[in-house]
Chain A
Amino acid sequence: DAGVIQSPRHEVTEMGQEVTLRCKLISGHNSLFWYRQTMMRGLELLIYFNNNVPIDDSGMPEDRFSAKMPNASFSTLKIQPSEPRDSAVYFCASSLIGSEQYFGPGTRLTVT
């Protein structure tokens, strides 16, 4: 069975550009989480959805960040405009609500 799929795996962009990160959930899962990991701040939850509905977005840094679930199996995280301090590894994870979270391999974002 395929796990959580993230694309791209690596993204290098210039400050001010729009960045879109993509995530495909494990089939049948109904909860989706976006995390950001840096050396300084560790693994931080940005936002999570249950049944396509955003439940907690208190971790989203600012209005430059937005996340959507256009359907039950897919999500995007968009940063517009990007800044160097957004450089990090972004993970999505999916689960059945209340159960174990399965993480994707991550997208390493570098903003120059």
Chain B
Amino acid sequence: TQLLKQSPQFLSIQEGENLTVYCNSSSVFSSLQWYRQEPGEGPVLLVTVVTGGEVKKLKRLTFQFGDARKDSSLHITAAQPGDTGLYLCAGRRAAGNKLTFGGGTRVLVKP
């Protein structure tokens, strides 16, 4: 049983379309991070959200942390083939250095 559930598990869209990935939990996290992982490489941090209700934007990517700090979403506007990859959310509890990862959402953007 995963503490952080991501949905959908797989998403295939055409270039130019929008997409949203969800990360849900019944637990409260002190912070939540989003990573992107490309084949043959390790995950790379995209953003960290800390405050409930926080919204952060990174070019065409918008990240939101739920008010109760139990869930998060990643929205990509006008997706491009370069956005293809595995998107992972990871939560950190109040104490400690440990991250718990969601199962990942595999995104494929077709040209």
A contact residues vs B (CB 8 Å cutoff):
4, 31, 33, 42-45, 48, 50, 55-56, 91, 93, 95, 97-98, 100-101, 103-106
Contacts and interface: CB of A to CB of B under 8 A. Distances in A.
Interface residues of B, number: 18
Interface of B: 2, 40-45, 48, 88, 96-104
B47 to A, nearest CB: 10
A4 B102 CA distance: 23
Contact of B42 (A50, A55, A56, A103): A103
B100 A45 contact: yes
B101 A105 contact: no
A42 B23 CA distance: 14
Interface of B is mostly: loop
9 contacts: A33-B99, A43-B104, A44-B101, A45-B101, A48-B98, A97-B97, A101-B45, A103-B42, A105-B41
Contacts, number: 46
Nearest to B92: A98
Nearest to B43: A103
A43 B88 contact: yes
Contacts of B48: 100
Given A42-B102, A42-B104, A43-B88, A105 B97 contact: no
A93 B101 CA distance: 14
Contacts of A104: 42
B40 A43 contact: no
Contact of A31 (B41, B88, B97, B101): B97
Contact of A42 (B2, B40, B44): B2
Max chain A Cβ within 10 angstroms of own Cβ: one of B41, B97, B99: B97
3 nearest A-B residue pairs (beta carbon): A103-B42, A43-B101, A42-B103
